């Protein structure tokens, strides 16, 4: 009996000692990893905000492609949710919900692990402009371990960080591939309706044109807005002369307007008018970097189909949607109109 008492006393001492040891440990954890992604904030934010997009970059779903996913009524923004279930112990089962979302700035989510153990943690994301361009995205996990599992808090960085680093790297690669997607379609012969427009004009070297256009186009739009002039459609460029051999171009940046506008002489903005004209239309969906290929395809179509371009009539590039509203360059739409007889 004395031996049994001693054993019980020993167990009690060990238990008390363990409890005292656990009481000295900090059960809180806060792990985060950051990465600079060369992409607009809106695009990076959208990839994280929408749970359906997680299928393309989540490090845990790559561990088990057969993971069963169940989405809530909404999948992005505050109140969005999804749950997962996997036979792979590294993936397990659980649920995630977005509790707060500030567009292009931050996300706060709550994750509940059900298997292989029960645990609830907070996930947080921040998005901010990176020095030198791109987006700095930070992915964090914080919470508190139950009393008996406090010893695991110090190991959480070791457990979680490798997956966070893999996830951010995969997020980066998926976004880069998404931005490179594009398509070109030669729509065929059509009639451009023409109309009045406000514009400014310059001549420069071809390789200087993007910077010139970025400087000129906002001035035309600002003039229309500041003078409360109604714009009749998307902005466009007119190409008056393109001299590849001498690396020279003369072009105008323009916005269509409903009626003829009398502009101030010192404003740097003029009014023009296009009569309706027959044209070959070609549509690029994707980054403006692919415009040269779109023009080449259009010119080839003209040659292959024995069409005749009209000399002296400007060709048009119409920017059918606003890049500020479409952060992914793969969604940008540009319509090319080459005047033909």
Lowest-confidence pick of 22-26, 312-316, 318-322? 22-26
Residue 4 has pLDDT above 60, yes or no: no
Residue 69 has pLDDT above 80, yes or no: yes
Residue 9 has pLDDT above 80, yes or no: no
Residue 142 has pLDDT above 60, yes or no: yes
d(CA 177, CA 194): 37
Answer whether 262's CB lies under 8 Å from 271's CB. yes
Tokens 């540009």 sit at which residue? 334
Please give the backbone phi and psi of residue 15, each rounded to the nearest 5 degrees, phi first: -65, -45
| Per-residue pLDDT tens digits for 44-55 | 999 999 999 999
Using pLDDT thresholds of 50, 70 and 90, give the confidence band for residue 233.
very high
Each as own residue / partner, the long-range contacts of residues 207-211 (CB below 8 Å, 24 or more positions apart, any chain) are: 207/247, 209/249, 209/251
Region 15-26: mean pLDDT is: 42
| Per-residue pLDDT tens digits for 247-261 | 999 999 999 999 999
User: Model-level pTM?
Assistant: 0.79
Domains observed in the chain? 24-180 (3.30.530.20), 183-339 (3.20.80.10)
């Amino acid at each position: 009996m004395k031996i049994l008492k001693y054993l019980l006393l020993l167990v009690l001492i060990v238990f008390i000692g363990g409890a005292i040891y656990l009481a000295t440990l900090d059960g809180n954890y806060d792990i985060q990893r950051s990465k600079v992604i060369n992409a607009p904030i809106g695009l990076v934010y959208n990839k994280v905000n929408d749970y359906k997009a997680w299928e393309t970059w989540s490090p845990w779903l790559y561990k088990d492609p057969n993971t069963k996913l169940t989405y809530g009524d909404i999948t992005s923004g505050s109140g969005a949710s999804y749950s997962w279930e996997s036979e792979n112990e590294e993936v397990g089962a659980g649920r995630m919900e977005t509790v707060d979302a500030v567009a292009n700035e931050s996300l706060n989510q709550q994750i509940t692990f059900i298997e292989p153990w029960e645990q609830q943690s907070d996930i947080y994301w921040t998005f901010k402009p990176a020095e030198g361009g791109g987006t700095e995205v930070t992915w964090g996990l914080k919470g508190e371990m139950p009393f008996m599992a406090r010893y695991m808090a110090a190991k959480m960085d070791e457990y979680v960080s490798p997956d966070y680093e893999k996830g951010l790297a995969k997020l980066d690669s998926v976004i880069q591939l998404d931005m490179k997607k594009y398509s070109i379609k030669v729509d065929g012969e059509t009639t451009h309706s023409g109309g009045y427009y406000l514009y400014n004009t310059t001549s420069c070297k071809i390789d200087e044109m993007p910077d010139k256009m970025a400087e000129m186009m906002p001035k035309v739009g600002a003039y229309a807005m500041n003078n409360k002039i109604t714009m009749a459609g998307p902005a466009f460029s007119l190409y008056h002369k393109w001299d590849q051999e001498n690396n020279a171009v003369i072009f105008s940046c323009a916005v269509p307007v409903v009626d003829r506008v009398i502009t101030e002489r010192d404003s740097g903005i003029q009014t023009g008018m296009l009569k309706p004209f027959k044209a070959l239309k070609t549509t690029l969906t994707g980054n403006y970097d692919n415009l040269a290929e779109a023009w080449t395809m259009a010119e080839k179509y003209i040659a292959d189909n024995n069409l005749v371009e009209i000399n002296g009539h400007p060709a048009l590039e119409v920017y059918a949607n606003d890049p500020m509203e479409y952060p992914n360059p793969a969604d940008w739409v540009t319509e090319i109109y080459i005047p033909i007889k």
